Structure 1
């Protein structure tokens, strides 16, 4: 395989992982639904990107162990926590720090997902970077589509947005909790 083929293949795999990774999409929705401004979400998404990139690299280089079943439960728990925080916390000043910590778990999830396919040994760095670029492009696409809609809805209909925000957060929690139980059931 040549370099360009590897780059496009792994960017596509990263995009596919985000687009079909409903748990990551739900987590992302839980993060951005609090948005009042693009700047505040940029800090949160940047923290998530740095942390999941870090653990993805460490896992691919076999410097951190990957336990897929536990990681999947951990990801579901992060979704539940974000939803609960959305409902009860008044300020999201430190959401970026929490997202950084949770991103470490999600990065291990990305590593678990790509482990089924593996990386091109002769292009390990290129494969890893390309996969991560695909993930980022997918996340930016989701944020780029949803964030303007959410911010505009909030500005135009603040009373309805509160109801919408709370309803969506409860739904995110219930789906996350369902995934916790389903994934824990896999241990039995």
Structure 2
């Protein structure tokens, strides 16, 4: 297996690893207000997140930016909590047409995903730098790792939207109730991560 596919696999495994579930929680929070029929909107949303984390992942791995690891580890659950809380106020428009108000709301969510992606990218870079060590050329490993992350995200999104479809159609659950349940669970887990963060504890 080539180095490219090794790093691609590592990127995929990193974001789908249940032991590092903070990034999974963020993707869940992003998708909580959408259904399977809205997969295009979700794809754009996840792409915005990918663009954000790709930028800081590259800059941090190339050591062009420097930051406090402890601070980033605190900021990541904060982004999860904020995203989950915005879902409590999300209102699905009655009309299927894209009104000006709806477009503005969608742009706001895309901008939020992009901004929070910048923070998560710094979290990804800690793991990637530990893998690279003193490797001379990091361009291909960086690209492969990023692609692996994206594939992992898409898998998580597919699972979330599929579960949502089953809950709404097979069990006839209310969409609002399901959104609140998912977002509430994610918010609770994010609060736990924040409280147990060493910086917060100080």
Same fold (TM over 0.5): yes
Q: What RMSD in Å do the two structures reach over aligned CA positions?
A: 2.1
Secondary structure at the aligned position of 2:198 is classed as: helix
1:103 aligns to 2:94 (yes or no): no
Secondary structure at the aligned position of 1:121 is classed as: coil
Secondary structure at the aligned position of 1:126 is classed as: helix
Change (3 A) 1:95 1:152: farther
Match of 2:77 in 1: 76
The CA deviation at 1:185 is: 4.9
Q: Point out where structure 1 has 5 or more consecutive residues left out of the alignment.
A: none
Change (3 A) 1:141 1:71: same
Distance in 2, matches of 1:152 and 1:41, equals 18
Distance in 1, matches of 2:127 and 2:68, equals 11
List structure 1 runs of 4+ shifted beyond 6 angstroms: none
Change (3 A) 1:72 1:159: same
Match of 1:41 in 2: 42
1:114 aligns to 2:125 (yes or no): no
Secondary structure at the aligned position of 1:117 is classed as: helix
| TM-score, structure 1 normalization | 0.89
Residue correspondences, number: 185
Between structures 1 and 2, the one with greater helix share? 1
Select 1:135's aligned residue among 146, 149, 162.
149
Q: Point out where structure 2 has 5 or more consecutive residues left out of the alignment.
A: 93-104
Distance in 2, matches of 1:17 and 1:24, equals 9
Match of 2:99 in 1: none
